[in-house]
Chain A
Amino acid sequence: MSHAVLRPNWAARIAVAVLSVVALVLAVALAVTVGEMTIPLGTALKALGNGLFDLGFPTSAIQQGVIFHYRLSRALMAALCGGALAISGAILQALLRNPLAEPYILGVSAGASTGAVCVMILGLGGTTLGLSGGAFVGSVAALALVALLAAGAGGTSDRVILAGVAGSQLFTAATSAIVTTMASAEQARGVMFWLLGNFGGVRWPDLWVATPVALIGFIICMSHAKALDAFAFGTDAARSLGVAVGRVRFVLFATTALLTATMVAIVGSIGFVGLVIPHAARFLVGPGHARLLPACLVIGAVFMILTDILSRVLVPQQILPIGIVTALFGAPAFAAILYGAKRPA
């Protein structure tokens, strides 16, 4: 009986993989057709054919532009971002042995906001750096500070979390200071909007950066899946199971930080996904990381595409910041999962 669970069941694996791809494709198809301008799926497919393979179907230039340059790139970016944040959350929860750990715990998001504000309001870096560049530099700076603090304080899980909290507070305060003293009301609104996340500005070049980062990050994380499992009983237990704890922690902290920093730089800091999707995925596939990480990738991606659609259609004529939608719809959904899965005491 135990063997049925242990033996790799190829049929089931392939079925799950196919299902995941179908879910992703459906979500993208939905994202491409739904919006202020509803476009029939047939037209959307033609436009995709034109955009991807230059097939020369007759489509209107506006539809072509909306679908290929606006909605498709946006949907794919949402998928990458959701997947990357969810994976980062799962990994940090395992490494820090804390169910409340999330991708921004290392100060990445606070640093990004400071960097973005420096560019947006103070005009640092001029035109060469840009908003995304500023955000990336800011998150790496915050990360470096937190890493220094954490290492100096002994590097145990709770110290890392405390260092992250301290770093985040510092950078958030810096952001607030700049916004309140220097920004016009208009700029402050823009910053607020950016902080809550927004896929509106995504264009194809962003994807050329985000896709390789997400892919390589995912592969690195997957190659450490077994080591992550070994952290269940703590770092000492992981060590005695043959895990090179120092190296694994360094590689994985760096990978999740870069994944998160890249996403935050492109779309702002979208909360909730990185915290909650890993827990939802654990309810579905269990705690083993060889399954958990791919599940996070798929669920995070689909969840983010769907919330992005909602953010576009919920309030007519207006786009809600995605962070608001992820929390508004994610929190009740998560409560339902928690409630449904509550174990008998």
Chain B
Amino acid sequence: MTLATHDVRWSAGGHLIVDGITLSVEPNRMLGLIGPNGSGKSSLLRLLCRMRKVASGVVTLDARDIGDLSRRDLARRLAFVEQQATTDVHLSVCDVVRLGRTPHRAAFASWTREDEEAIDHALERVGLTDRHDQPWHTLSGGERQRVHIARALAQEPRELILDEPTNHLDIQHQLSTLALIRRLGLTCIVALHDLNLASLFCDRICVLSAGKLVAAGMPEAVLTPDLIRRVFGVEVRIHDGAGGRRHIEYIIDGDQGETP
């Protein structure tokens, strides 16, 4: 149980947006967070990395309240990739990845060999080594997403939190990015929209709806036609796919009557 929430609540604009959520990730496992738009996924992730303060409840890292850690210590343990983050500053790809070294560097320190290696390694892992000097504002949406992931990796975290990391990515990069995140072997919490990708890559899945946790468990146990109908209002059929994995097929109104 490295990262866990205990009955956390958070409200904004007079509404309770995260409503008493208790969940935890096992070390080196990948936890998927799914739920409709506005169900509170991003809000919960922000609480997990202390970007917002919980109104009640606690978030713990190794059984310690993260509120008791210094921001810097937290940033060395835990990295966050936001749903969308952009800048007007004229940075290169490498400049952005270097930002990931911020929590590791003292105020007046210059770049060390360790920093350089972490940066190069991070760029290599997202496949952007050759884009090292390209200006940030010229990157495509998917490339930006991968640079942010590289920045998070340069932090050398043990816990990685990602908010829809496959946004903007083509199918190849969706698969390769999630495979990469899985291969890293870090403790991961990932908000995802694609139910098939979630069931393909996540060890466990938590389902949010209107700020509440409505289901949690193994993908096979959680992603049932009944739950998907209740939470997303969509009819699905579930097929057994190759390698024991399952495939979720969405049924559009018109073809409901057809037999497979």
Q: A residues bordering B, Cβ < 8 Å?
A: 1-3, 5-8, 97, 99, 222-227, 229-230, 232-234, 236-237, 239-244, 282, 286-288, 343
Contact = CB atoms under 8 A, between A and B. Distances in A.
Given A8-B110, A239-B51, A242-B74, A230 B99 contact: yes
Given A8-B110, A232-B87, A2 B94 contact: yes
A233 B86 contact: yes
Contacts of A222: 108
B88 interface: yes
Contact of A232 (B73, B89, B107): B89
A229 B99 contact: yes
Contacts of A233: 82, 85-87, 99
Contacts, number: 89
Given A6-B115, A239-B71, A241-B102, 7 more contacts: A2-B120, A230-B102, A239-B51, A240-B80, A241-B155, A242-B70, A242-B71
27 contacts: A2-B116, A2-B120, A2-B132, A5-B94, A6-B119, A8-B111, A222-B108, A223-B107, A225-B107, A226-B102, A226-B107, A230-B102, A232-B99, A233-B87, A236-B85, A237-B85, A239-B50, A240-B51, A241-B75, A241-B102, A241-B155, A242-B70, A242-B73, A242-B74, A242-B103, A243-B72, A244-B72
A98 B50 CA distance: 25
A3 B90 contact: no
Nearest to B102: A241
Contacts of A236: 46, 51, 82, 85
A323 to B, nearest CB: 28
B247 interface: no
Leading 10 A-B pairs by shortest Cβ distance: A242-B75, A242-B103, A242-B72, A240-B80, A241-B102, A8-B110, A232-B89, A233-B85, A232-B87, A223-B107
A117 to B, nearest CB: 37
A82 B110 CA distance: 27
B40 interface: no
Given A3-B116, A99-B88, A229-B102, A243 B82 contact: no
Contacts of A243: 71-72, 102
Q: How large is the interface on B (under 10, 10 to 19, 20 to 34, 35 or more residues)?
A: 35 or more
Nearest to B80: A240
A229 B79 CA distance: 17
B105 interface: yes
Interface in B219-247: none
B116 to A, nearest CB: 5
B7 interface: no
B131 to A, nearest CB: 11
Nearest to B86: A233
A99 B90 CA distance: 12
B51 A241 contact: no
Given A6-B116, A287-B90, A288-B95, A241 B103 contact: yes
